[in-house]
Amino acid sequence: MKKKIFLLLPLFLMVLIAPACSPKPRSSVLLRDLSAPPKVVLETFAKEGKGDYFLLNDEGYSFRLIYLCENRVLNFIDEPPKNPIMVSIQPILDTPVENRLEADERRRIWACMERKVREENSRVEELRGRIAEERIKIEKELHATWVERDRILAEMEKKRKLEAQRQRRMEEEMRKAEEERLRKLEEEQRRKSEEERKIRAYRAGEREKEELSTLPLPPKVTESGVFLIMKEADVFEQPRETVKILHKAQKSDIFEVINSTRDEHGIEWYQMVLSERVISEKGKRYGWSPEERSFWVKNKLLAWVYPGDLAKTHTVKPIKLNVEEIQFTGKKASTPQRPSLFEVIYEVHTEFTQRIIGWADEKSGIRRPNKNREEMRNLLQSLSKTPWSLQIQNDILKGDIRIGFTPEQVTLSWGRPDHINTTRTLVGVHEQWVYGESPFPNSYVYFENGVVKSWEFLRGSGK
């Protein structure tokens, strides 16, 4: 037993001596500069910038590189063969490293962080301002784009209207050319028929009998002027009151005159174009020329046709058609204004036009060969603004003047003179209005103190 204790005693002594001989742990040191920084530190300085402090032998790290304003700590360790490497990055605040720094250094960290926050806020505000400027710029460009778009649309609409007007004008010219062609064809056929009749009468030894007193004269191509209705008047098929009435003219209706004649009672009759109707045999289609639209009637038996859209049947004027001219399609519809409507088909007339012509007597209106329809409308508008009596207005519309007329009334009736000669005497002012160019005047009107005293027509005058 004693022998065993003697052998273990040296081992026990070695165990006690070993801790006493081991080196003491190194304490951490905070340095501003490092005399001989390792290569990895120099590389970090070149990349990140120079650090503020070195912390040696702290918390198991060989050294720690401290950046105050960046709030960063770079931790390095040594590995064989003495080659430091960076193992982690951590903040300074709220760590033991912050406690090792002085109060001024800690305030410096917070000041740097506040400056970064201000710089970041400044960058944010600058970015917001730039975005606001870009937004305003984009809105202006968008507004300019909208204005340009509206301008282009307006130009397109204007071109469309001009094209539609040109198309209508071309269609009107084509229609008139076709009417002229048909008129000439009818005249040629009438002439041939008349020649054949004369030949047959000559061969039969018969004498031709003229009955101009009972038949109206054929239309004159050179006839012109307008007929102004002065009251409600009936327009007849022939110049006499016993034939069928074609139209009920209203007061102030103006029609183009194409012919005139006198009946057996000596009454002057004027032939006028009332309307035009297009005739065709091209088959039936939906629509109303030139557009493709349905026809709607309130009652098929009455044949009152409302052209156009179903929703607009309460605003459009109906057209009265013969029952045999329409065909029911089987479709029914209703609107709040018209509860029962039926869709029908009607022929689209496109080949030639038939002119509907009527006659009105001289007692129902005024004939003015020297004025067209637009001039007569302008004359009616001018007279409507005056306080003159109905007799004076009728005289002016007929182209007459009376003693006592004023210069304005004479101007509206006969027009402006070609020349005015004025003479001043003790009793007043005398004026001579000359119509017609010298040396061949047509007529004279004499004024004394602003009213008509007399007038005269020269031989050959058309007045």
Give residue 102's pLDDT: 87
**What is the helix (H) or strand (E) element at residue 25, kind and residue range?**
none
Of 142-151, 181-190, 355-364, highest mean pLDDT? 142-151
What's the token pair of residue 97? 């490293």
36 confidence band (pLDDT: 50, 70, 90): confident
3-class SS of residue 189: helix
Residue closest to 268 by CA, chosen among 358, 364, 391, 355: 364
Q: Which residue has the higher pLDDT, 345 or 180?
A: 180
Q: Which residue has the higher pLDDT, 368 or 163?
A: 163
* Per-residue pLDDT tens over the stretch 88-98: 999 998 888 98
Mean pLDDT, rounded, for 172-176: 87
* Per-residue pLDDT tens over the stretch 115-173: 989 999 999 999 999 999 999 999 999 999 999 999 999 999 999 999 998 998 898 88
**Distance (Å, whole) CA 296 – CA 303:** 9
Chain centre to alpha carbon of residue 328: 38
Contact 384, 376 (CB under 8 A): no
**Phi and psi angles of residue 232, each rounded to the nearest 5 degrees, phi first:** -65, 125
Contact 250, 229 (CB under 8 A): yes
> Residue 66 above 60 pLDDT?
yes
> Residue 56 above 80 pLDDT?
yes
- Average per-residue pLDDT for the chain: 78
Give residue 73's pLDDT: 94
**Phi and psi angles of residue 432, each rounded to the nearest 5 degrees, phi first:** -120, 115
* Per-residue pLDDT tens over the stretch 257-271: 877 888 777 788 888
* Per-residue pLDDT tens over the stretch 68-113: 988 999 999 987 777 788 889 999 988 889 888 988 888 998 999 8
446 confidence band (pLDDT: 50, 70, 90): very high
Q: Is 199 exposed, middle or buried (0-12, 13-18, 19+ CB in 10 A)?
A: exposed
Give residue 201's pLDDT: 75
Looking at domain 371-457, which CATH architecture does it have?
2-Layer Sandwich (3.30)
Contact 73, 95 (CB under 8 A): yes
Mean pLDDT, rounded, for 227-240: 78
Contacts of 324 (CB under 8 A, 6+ apart): none
> Residue 198 above 70 pLDDT?
yes
